[in-house]
Amino acid sequence: MKGLKTVYICSTCEYESPKWMGKCPKCGAWNSFVEDVIDTSPQSKIAEAKHGYSIGSDSRATPLDQLEADCCIRSLTGLGELDRVLGGGLVKGSVVLLTGEPGIGKSTLLLQISGILGETRKVLYISGEESSGQLKLRAARLGVKGRELLVLTETNIDKILKETDRVKPDVLIVDSIQTMFSPQSASSPGSVTQVRESALSFISKAKNDGISVILVGHVNKEGSIAGPKLLEHMVDAVLCFEGEHQQAYRIIRSVKNRFGSTNEIGVFEMTDKGLCEVPNPSEVLLAGRPKKVSGNCALCTIEGTRPLIAEVQALVTTTSFPSPRRTVNGMDYSRIYLILAVLEKRLGLKFSANDVYINVIGGMRLDEPASDAAAALALMSSITDKIVPEDLLAIGEIGLAGECRAVSNLESRVKEAERLGFKRIILPYRNIEKRPIDTSVRLIPIKSVYEMLSLLANGESSEGNV
């Protein structure tokens, strides 16, 4: 068709090329080019200029001292775990991007909070993937009966914005942004151009009218958000819905949040009645923990302001391959290699002749260095076949010299371990050298991995309460 041209656009930096390239010459990203169709006719450029969006109506520069700060009004979603991740609820005029793998529970979660918000506020739910009949069936299963919950099954941006102006909702939910399209663009829905234009339309509507907008975003096979990388920079918050389909538990993690912390997580359980909150995830993560078995150790990690007790399991077995296997699930792969090298060099444990498997129970992801001590103790327990006591918990960072370094938020970690019935805690010596902790739990300070191996070999520490 006259005026249409096929181009290839980098999904990371939106660099355009007339042909596909493996590496983007602008940002250096590999395999980031996607095919798109653009309209180069003069009429299309005029329509695109008329279709432009801007945030705010005042185009004149204003001194900072004369600006007025908008009142940050938050609305509770009714789910405490989601409010925790958002920083206290939905902010008026904010745009939140919720991403996750297909079937993880994104639409279920949004329909649930739509029903809760619909009791007191007007909610407009835009569905581009399901029919109104399908939404009604799922709402009946979840028990959603919001009085002010309005449903619209549409993918045309112009029609959606027109209906939004008529309804004037307080909260707008779009499921999903990849199905939306603008008639002013010749590209197909889901392309880089369409996703960018659709997101700009909703962001402009949110900022100008004070509507809280939640966008659902798909992820590609690499696990990143589908569409241009610019989409993540445009929104106010990015929430990732994580979890295994075979497990009932789901985790919402904040990747970006302009109105709160990015370290908070929310834990949910998928049931036949929808997603249920898990207010005490530590007990859930420790449920079913094996007894009198080597290779597992408990630890306390900090997610935002919340201390969580997790379990690390290690399996060290003789290899039948020329090169031993290393499989890590839930921890940084390179960090485990570092710990293995330290244990082999400093303690003489021959991990290089064995396969090593590491797993964090419950689908948790441990990124902080304070989990090093528990991983090292689990590895030592598995290779020596010595059992770590059930009531023992390990906290600490392991250095290349084998030293155990201090960690932060020790008091909250100790209180959480004490609440769940742990009697002994292995922790860095530096943490309590100058600031003792008043607790009934037996604190075992250590300086290096040599003392950890000695404690494991003896089975009981000679240290008293510190």
Contacts of 354 (CB under 8 A, 6+ apart): 316, 317, 318, 319, 324, 383
Peptide bond into 191 cis (omega under 30): no
Give the CA distances from residue 439 to residues 124, 257, 427, 431, in Å, rounded to whole numbers and listed in that order.
51, 36, 14, 14
Quick one: CA torsion of 156, 159, 165, 166, rounded to 10 degrees?
Answer: -140
Dist CA 315 CA 294 (whole Å): 9
Position 15 scores a pLDDT of: 82
Q: What is the pTM of this model?
A: 0.73
Give which of 239, 288, 232, 242 is closest to 260, Cα–Cα: 239
Position 174 scores a pLDDT of: 94
Contacts of 16 (CB under 8 A, 6+ apart): 7, 8, 9, 10
User: How many Cβ atoms from other residues are within 10 Å of residue 397's Cβ?
Assistant: 16
Dist CA 128 CA 154 (whole Å): 6
Give which of 99, 107, 317 is closest to 222, Cα–Cα: 99
Position 161 scores a pLDDT of: 93
Could you tell me the fold of the domain covering 284-458? Ribosomal Protein S5; domain 2 (3.30.230)
**196, 227 in Cβ contact below 8 A?**
yes
Tell me which of 3.90.550.10, 3.40.50.300, 3.40.50.620, 1.20.120.450 is the CATH number of domain 73-279: 3.40.50.300
Quick one: CA torsion of 438, 439, 440, 445, rounded to 10 degrees?
Answer: -90
Q: Domain spans of the chain?
A: 4-42, 73-279, 284-458
Residue 183 one-letter amino acid: P
pLDDT along the chain (466 residues), means of 10: 72 81 86 74 49 57 75 80 89 91 88 89 91 89 85 93 93 91 79 86 91 88 67 89 77 88 84 86 83 92 86 93 91 94 94 94 86 96 93 95 92 90 92 80 93 83 38
Position 59 scores a pLDDT of: 64
**What are the tokens at 459?**
């089975």
HSE-up of 99 (CA within 13 Å, CB side)?
A: 22
Position 40 scores a pLDDT of: 61
